Structure 1
Amino acid sequence: MPAAEVVTDHSWGLVGTAVLELQLDGERFIAKAGDTKDRHISREIRAHREWLAPWTTRGRAPRLVHADEEAKLLVTRFLPGVLVQGTEQEWDPDIYRQAGELLAAFHAQVAVPDETHEARENRRSLAYLDKKHTIAPEVTARLRSEIESWPTAAAVLVPTHGDWQPRNWLIDEGTVGIIDFGRTDLRPAITDFARLAVQQFATNPALEPAFFDGYGSDPRGPAAWHRIQLREAINTTVWAHQVGDKPFEAQGHRMLAAALRE
């Protein structure tokens, strides 16, 4: 695409991933390129190749144009719309009903039993606590003790978005579309509810029932949901500290406090 014109640079600047909106021959595209540390482009490529059909066939997610996993490069067609986050639609129950319905179709594609998932996630959370972070030492000790006591029964994994929240939803003439698949992977379905639970659901009580009305049911069991919340809180707090995202780090601390209270 040597003749493409850069319309907008959508890169976050927190990590070494470039995201450019391009125009070529009257069409718009999104190009993403990762640096040597990037682990998200390969996930996004896999998502496009294996799991996005429930959305792309309905025009609810961008279609793949080109991908090179070795070069960490991805090009998709531009998906029109405005980010839901920061608009009045962020608090519209109908948006969450649509998001729930879209997510249910995504989760329903395949279910994979995994005997090692819980033990692997426990090790991952403990490894995060070994990194530099701002979690208080007494809280860190409590977290380690609790994680080491958790059971490691088999889990059922499904395709998950990994960052399911309004900053990755677009609204176009009342219809919700989905972007950003850099965290897409096989996980327990309820992991996709974690960020909404501590953000929009906690702010507006009408959004959670609307979301699960679209999803079809609320599959969260208390013990499994607690483990998900605590893991997500640890990962958020430590990762945000590593990249210098202070607001996200503060959110991680709030998530930790809430999970530990429960």
Structure 2
Amino acid sequence: MDRSLSTLTDTQRDLLREWLPDLHVVRDHSWGLVDNVVLEVESQGQRFVVKADGETNHHIARELDAHEQWLAPWVALGRAPRLVAGDRSAKIVVTEYLPGHLVLGSDAQRNPDTFRQAGELLAILHGQPAVIDASYEARENAKILQNLDKEHRISPELETELRGIVMGWPDEPVALVPTHGDWQPRNWLVHDGRISVIDFGRAALRSVLADWTRLEARDFREDPAREAAFVEGYGADPRESGAWFRERLREAINTAVWAHLIGDEPFEEQGHQMIARALNAS
């Protein structure tokens, strides 16, 4: 048995044998930081991607939600992979393989046209019917306070300040749309100059602003031309000051806490920088 497959459960391996006869692993794309497996595989002359969660991970359900409810416009354009098979209870999903290489760290990341295309694609996703949710802000605020209860390296004085800010935020209805949840170059592929999208393990209904925060944290800061191109592609700039501050600070706190818990020190440091920048801009 391939070592990459040995980490799967018996049920997951049985399903793969049923779905993809004569499967063999081409490449293991797993990060190793979280409890999941991402494999590029081949079966009967075709290439696929297999994603499977371990006991502590719950991303596959969101992957399947995205494929079943929101990705059809991208799939029709060839800009997202087609769902082949999946099983929520077994926590495994198979999609078609999209050609290309990651934008992250490539010349394409320095090309503003990449961000214009990314803006266009995001506008398509966000342009699907919205749902008005009167409890979204309260739920998100509660999550922040719960995260601050976890182990982290935010100073006690700053933690007290952050709790006060969050508890003072308004609770108002928000229009929720399908969001990717990790919208940045590490989840974009480029092939012959065309951008496509992968990894839907954080997809969910959220505010449109949720898909802007991670670009603001790094790529927009590195080159304003990327930001201008992204806004052009998206067609508008939805970053109203009050809501944008709340979304940025939530993302910053979540990043600092989560990265500490998984031991990713560079990402944790980015989270602390994001907190400082959000507070300075408030």
Q: Which category of TM-score, normalised to the shorter sequence, fits these structures?
A: over 0.9
Pairing of 1:116-195 with structure 2 (within 5 A): 116-195=135-214
**Equivalent residue in structure 2 for 1:240, among 259, 273, 282:** 259
In structure 2, the partner of 1:68 is 87
For 1:201 and 1:88, the matched residues in 2 are separated by: 16
Name stretches of at least 5 consecutive residues in structure 2 with no aligned partner.
1-19
In structure 2, the partner of 1:113 is 132
CA contact (8 A) 2:132 2:176 kept: yes
Whether 1:81 and 2:100 are equivalent positions in the alignment is yes
Letter in 1 for 2:78: G
For 2:223 and 2:199, the matched residues in 1 are separated by: 25
Pairing of 1:35-74 with structure 2 (within 5 A): 35-74=54-93
Whether 1:91 and 2:110 are equivalent positions in the alignment is yes
In structure 1, the partner of 2:8 is none
For 1:39 and 1:236, the matched residues in 2 are separated by: 18
Letter in 2 for 1:208: E
**TM-score, structure 1 as length reference:** 0.99
Deviation at 1:2, TM superposition (A): 4.4
In structure 2, the partner of 1:210 is 229
Letter in 2 for 1:4: L
Give the total of aligned pairs: 262
For 2:148 and 2:129, the matched residues in 1 are separated by: 32
- Secondary structure of the 1:80 match is coil
**TM-score, structure 2 as length reference:** 0.92
Deviation at 1:91, TM superposition (A): 1.2
Deviation at 1:212, TM superposition (A): 0.7
- Secondary structure of the 1:206 match is helix
In structure 1, the partner of 2:32 is 13
| CA displacement 1:99-128 (0-9 Å, x = unmatched) | 000000000111000000001111000000
Whether 1:103 and 2:118 are equivalent positions in the alignment is no
| CA displacement 1:107-155 (0-9 Å, x = unmatched) | 0111000000001111000000000001111110000000000000011
Deviation at 1:224, TM superposition (A): 0.2
CA contact (8 A) 2:21 2:44 kept: no
Letter in 2 for 1:157: L
CA contact (8 A) 2:21 2:43 kept: no
For 2:99 and 2:266, the matched residues in 1 are separated by: 28
In structure 1, the partner of 2:3 is none
For 2:82 and 2:120, the matched residues in 1 are separated by: 20
CA contact (8 A) 2:259 2:267 kept: yes
Identity %: 54
Letter in 1 for 2:176: L
Letter in 2 for 1:70: S
Deviation at 1:190, TM superposition (A): 1.0
In structure 2, the partner of 1:255 is 274
In structure 2, the partner of 1:201 is 220
Runs of 4+ in 1 over 2 A off after TM superposition: none
In structure 1, the partner of 2:12 is none
Deviation at 1:248, TM superposition (A): 0.8
In structure 2, the partner of 1:33 is 52
